[in-house]
Amino acid sequence: MNILTGILSSSPPSTLLHFNRFFISSFSSSYETQIQSSWRRRFWRSISMYSSSSSSSSSLYTCASSSRIDPIVSPSVVGEPETITENNKPPKQYPWLIVGLGNPGKLYNRTRHNVGFEMVDAIAEAEGISMSSVSFKAFFGKGCIGNTPLMLAKPQTFMNVSGESVGAIVSFYKIPPKQVLVIYDDLDLPFGKLRLLPKGGHGGHNGMKSVINHLKGSRDFPRLRIGIGRPPGKMEAATYVLRRFNKQESEELDFTFQNGVEALRILLLQGFDKSATFVNSPKPLKHLQ
């Protein structure tokens, strides 16, 4: 430390300025400090709530690469400034937000209640999107499908308060509800079946209840439901949704996830109606092979 102090004390002001900028930039992340219960406090102790800082103007985007979502900027003009009219304004392009619901931690890994997480993981793998960032209390990734920007999120707040994360992302990026796709498990659908709907209620799903509440009561956002079937015999639903899949079920889910990835591509590139037709139409087994 004495050597460092000596070097800095004998350095010109410009060197000190560069050192200060480097020192400050190395500690720019903020961390979650107010969690209501002890288990959530332990979980978030070492996790940053925001992995990067952005201005409020980040509601306009363009796909610059497969892993970046950049603000749209007007092209630089040499000479006289260009007159902006309605005809030459850059189009507003908001990103899609794809959210998978589930519970964090190894205890819930591969359980029925976490198929939303697994679908997002399948999308991330298929599209080469890293989910290693942590933002808005969620594992978070950015990328593109074609020229359409998207963000993937797996809220780590536990299922029943998933809306805390989803609402924060939607508010920060000013994402229209029609471009927020929530993926979650459904007891009322046969195992492995997908159902894509443009809007609707929560159907008794606590994660969806939280999302709707944090979107100011709006139900006008699309959702992709993944069937997990009904519990056998007299088993309670709360117990059933926390059971893991057996080998055969896992193999069947792989086909479901393949269909889900294809459905998302159609949704972003061709629109909701074509995607819904693809998802909701019966598919012969040979289509899945």
Give the active site residues.
Answer: 113
- The span from the CA of 102 to the CA of 55, in Å, is 30
Q: Do 226 and 256 touch, CB atoms closer than 8 A?
A: yes
Q: Which helix (H) or strand (E) holds 30?
A: strand 30-31
Backbone angles phi, psi at 250, to 5 degrees: -65, -40
- The span from the CA of 267 to the CA of 250, in Å, is 25
Kindly list the distances between the CA atom of residue 248 and the CA atoms of 75, 220, 254, 255, in Å, as whole numbers in the listed order.
54, 35, 10, 12
- The span from the CA of 40 to the CA of 73, in Å, is 39
**How many residues are given for the chain?**
289
Q: Do 62 and 148 touch, CB atoms closer than 8 A?
A: no
